[in-house]
Each structure stands twice: as structure tokens, then as C-alpha cells.
A = this chain, B = another copy of it.
């Protein structure tokens, strides 16, 4: 079953279009994992604390989300030890029955893109497949020949991609929205074209797009422009967008989009102990993007 169909099935199974971003900001980890920010501690110990925290998060959120999204940067900050923790966290998420979307935003030419696709999606005979991702985010700036090696890997392995079309950050318009027609439209058209190679039985492609919830009118426009493209929606929660802004991303019921929250789940502001705060936050989010969404939509 290809990635698009596996995702649709997982969303239906959990009755949840949530995506929990695993962004272990060292400075924000609960006190019991404080060794992660102790620069006098060996890096392997610091990375183990990050891993321990995220494995506990995974256990808490697994009943309420079909998929998690580890953010590579917060692992790479601890070097090779951090990357070992990344591998272990991917394996733990798979062990909990979750899909894993690697937020790596890679983008490079031909043979280098192939190496990245191998690193995150495909591996080789020596790779533990549990440590790989089911999908990754990619940057389109270098054009088709930087994407094709990922498409080839996705076809061979039933994995998926999310291309950065319109990001949620304040300065995203500088290049994505500064020409006429806006460059994001051209990228969106390319995403549709790339995606036509990887259509699933669900009617969706395994080539998705990142479209920020912080630009609601563009979300509506881009949803129409890419009707068979699964969307990854950042910007909900900590970045300011509410549930209403996100709804147009869905095509029908829970189909067609997953909504990310990272800090809002991992570091939920609350007087409760962190595990209780995280549980309450994911339950609240699942209520918004689960059966509640179906009713309202």
C-alpha cells in the first residue's frame, strides 16, 4: 500500500488528523531531562535524555495521533549522538504503531538527493527499516532533478514526500509570494505533476505539500490548486492559527490534511505535571481534528 493510502487508513483508524511534531528544544525539556542541556555531561547522556523524553511523549500521544514528525535539527544539535537518538525515536514511534514523517527539509542535486533519500526513506540491506521514515519534507528550490530521486525511492518503498510550498513563518513571502504569479503557485503545480507519478487508491498522491495555516486565504487557493495532494499544515497552535483557519485544508471528513502541533503538545503550558499537560493537549487537539472536525465540516 502506498504512503497516501497508509496515511488515510491510519487517520481513519485513529479518527485523528493530528500530527505531533517532535521538536525537542533542549531549553524547554521538563526538569527531569535537564541533563540534555548540561554542556558538561557527555553528549551520549544528553542525547539519551532527549530520546527518553520523546519515547515517553510517543507513549502518551500514540492513541490520539496517526503520525509523528521528528525535527532533525534538534537531534543534529547533539551531533552523532543526537542522530543515534533520532534513529531510536523513529524506531520507538514505529513500535507504537505510528507513521513517522521526518522533518528534514533536504534539497540537493541528483546523486546527493539520492543519498538523502537513501538515508531517510530507503536505507540499504544493512539498515534497520524501523529507523527509517515513512515520509520526509523536502525543499523545492533546486527544481525537479532534486526531487526525482526522492520520487524514485518513494515508488520503490511506498514512502512519501511533503514539498515546502508555502511555509508558516513571517518572512516566507519574500520568495514564495514575491513574483506574479507567485512562485508558490508554480511550485504547487510542480507538486501536482510530481505527485501524478505516485497516486494511491484513496485518490491522493504520496507527494504532499506543506502549506502554512498562517495564510488562510492562500490555504484555500492552494487546496483547490492541488486537489489530490495531501497537505501538511504547520502554524496551528503556538504559531497562531486556530482550528477554523485549518478546516479548508480537508477535502472531505478527515481526508486530505494532517495538522501539526509541536510545542503545543510537547511543552503544553499548564500547571499540571508535564505528562498530564501533554495528554490533555493531544486529547484537545484530537477533539478538534477528529470526530469534531467531521461534524463541523
* A interface residue numbers (CB < 8 A to B): 23, 25, 39-41, 43, 46, 71, 73-74, 76-77, 79-84, 86-87, 105-113, 115-116, 118-120, 124-127, 131, 139-146, 164, 167-176, 178-180, 183, 186-187, 190
Find chain B residues with CB under 8 A from A170 CB.
Answer: 145
In the complex, besides A141-B167, A141-B175, A142-B171, 5 extra interface pairs with C-beta distance below 8 angstroms are A73-B113, A74-B112, A109-B167, A142-B169, A145-B171
Known A142-B171, A143-B174, A175-B186; contact A80-B77, beta-carbon cutoff 8 A: no
Find chain B residues with CB under 8 A from A87 CB.
Answer: 79-80
Partner of A143, one of B25, B112, B119, B175: B175
Known A25-B111, A76-B115; contact A169-B143, beta-carbon cutoff 8 A: yes
Closest to A74 in B: B115
Kindly state the separation between the CA atoms of A86 and B76 in the bound complex, as whole angstroms: 12
Distance in Å: Cβ of A128 to nearest Cβ of chain B:
9
| A126 & B39 in contact (Cβ 8 Å cutoff) | yes
Find chain B residues with CB under 8 A from A174 CB.
Answer: 143-144, 186, 190
Kindly state the separation between the CA atoms of A41 and B126 in the bound complex, as whole angstroms: 7
Distance in Å: Cβ of A85 to nearest Cβ of chain B:
8
| A125 & B40 in contact (Cβ 8 Å cutoff) | yes
Find chain B residues with CB under 8 A from A110 CB.
Answer: 169
Find chain B residues with CB under 8 A from A139 CB.
Answer: 105, 107, 139, 141
Distance in Å: Cβ of A123 to nearest Cβ of chain B:
9
Kindly state the separation between the CA atoms of A190 and B173 in the bound complex, as whole angstroms: 13
| A79 & B83 in contact (Cβ 8 Å cutoff) | yes
Kindly state the separation between the CA atoms of A190 and B86 in the bound complex, as whole angstroms: 34
Known A108-B73, A108-B105; contact A176-B141, beta-carbon cutoff 8 A: yes
| B80 & A112 in contact (Cβ 8 Å cutoff) | no
Partner of A73, one of B43, B80, B116, B178: B116
